[in-house]
Amino acid sequence: MFGLHFLLAVGLSLSSLTLGAPTDANCTRESLEAAVADLLTAQTTGSSAAIKALSPSVTYTQNDKAGTISAGILASPLKIDHNRSEYDTTACATYSELIVADKAKPYVIGTQMRFTGDQITKVQTLVTTTGDWLFNVTGTLYWSSKENWDPIPAAQQDTRAVIQAAADAYLDIFNNKKVVVPWGSPCARLEGGSYTGKGLPTDSCNVGIPSGEDLTNRRYVIDETVGAVDVFLNFGGATGLPDSHQFRIESGKIRYVHTLTVMTASK
């Protein structure tokens, strides 16, 4: 008995060392979900104090400008009409899309949060509103609510590598027309509030992509359970526009693209 317990104990600690240690993520889906629930409460109530896991030394950017989280968009209580989040349990990061369809003060907000240990150490947010690229909150709310970003059955889930590669191919084609993009069919792009699709099986995403644009400084949040990846980037080189491209990938192919692009630097 002693021998068996000893062996089991050694075996367990060996496996936790060899399997656990190098990528020990310190976050669970539950801890990430709790943080996002707090983010939504914070935005609804107008107080970042609602985010319990926030590190005292959290760094915050809003539209690529460094600031303090308590003085940013979270200081404004907003009624959220639609929200959707993805959870990256490998990188310990989250992405949330918040749609605020208030007629006087409409917003579509994209927020990435990153953890170190059990604390949120980085929050980056893009706040789009009237004047930003193709902004039309009515369209965003309508189309985003209609889409299916539900969990994908485990056996059909793509790997992180496949999901990221599909997103990268799409982002790369803006600067290299030779790139082969795994277009899905159907596929639809929601850019600001403008939709390339009609909600039909024939919808295509291969409809007009600019060229000569470097989409760089890519920051990924990947959630295999829903085939989603969000990429924060600069659109048009290192000092380019603050931008988010979010993708839903199904069986290696692009199903949806959502973009937020900040045109007005003063917000």
Ligand X SMILES: *[C@@H]1O[C@H](CO)[C@@H](O)[C@H](O)[C@H]1NC(C)=O
**Token pair for 199:** 């909600």
By the rule CB under 6 A, 46 interacts with ligand X: no
Residue whose CB is less far from ligand X, 37 or 169: 37
Q: Residue 128 CB, nearest distance to ligand X (Å)?
A: 14
Residue whose CB is less far from ligand X, 84 or 182: 84
By the rule CB under 6 A, 44 interacts with ligand X: yes
Which distant-in-sequence residues (6+ apart) come within 8 Å of 62 by Cβ? 72, 73, 125, 126, 127, 267
Binding track over 128-157 against ligand X, x by CB under 6 A: --------x-xx--x---------------
Question: 241 near 234, Cβ under 8 Å?
Answer: yes
By the rule CB under 6 A, 47 interacts with ligand X: no
Which residue number is nearest to ligand X in terms of Cβ? 139
- Of 22-30, 147-155, 221-229, 247-255, the window that binds ligand X (rule: CB under 6 A) is 22-30
> What's phi and psi for 247, nearest 5 deg?
-125, 145
Q: Residue 87 CB, nearest distance to ligand X (Å)?
A: 13
Residue whose CB is less far from ligand X, 26 or 176: 26
Binding track over 168-207 against ligand X, x by CB under 6 A: -------------------------x--------------
Question: 260 near 110, Cβ under 8 Å?
Answer: yes
Q: Residue 221 CB, nearest distance to ligand X (Å)?
A: 15
CA distances from 36 to 75, 97, 113, 193 (A): 16, 11, 9, 24
Alpha-carbon gap, residue 23 to 84, rounded angstroms: 27
Cis peptide before 186 (omega within 30 of 0): yes
For residue 26, give the nearest of 14, 38, 35, 37 by alpha carbon. 35
Question: 256 near 150, Cβ under 8 Å?
Answer: no
Residue whose CB is less far from ligand X, 233 or 256: 256
By the rule CB under 6 A, 24 interacts with ligand X: yes
Place of tokens 């982002």: 171
Binding track over 64-103 against ligand X, x by CB under 6 A: ----------------x--x--------------------
By the rule CB under 6 A, 30 interacts with ligand X: no
Q: Residue 206 CB, nearest distance to ligand X (Å)?
A: 21
Residue 233 parent element (H or E): strand 228-235
**What is the layout of strands, in order, in the sheet containing 228-235?**
194-195, 183-191, 253-261, 241-250, 228-235, 215-223
Which residues are at the interface with ligand X (CB under 6 A)? 24-26, 40, 44, 80, 83, 116-117, 136, 138-139, 142, 193
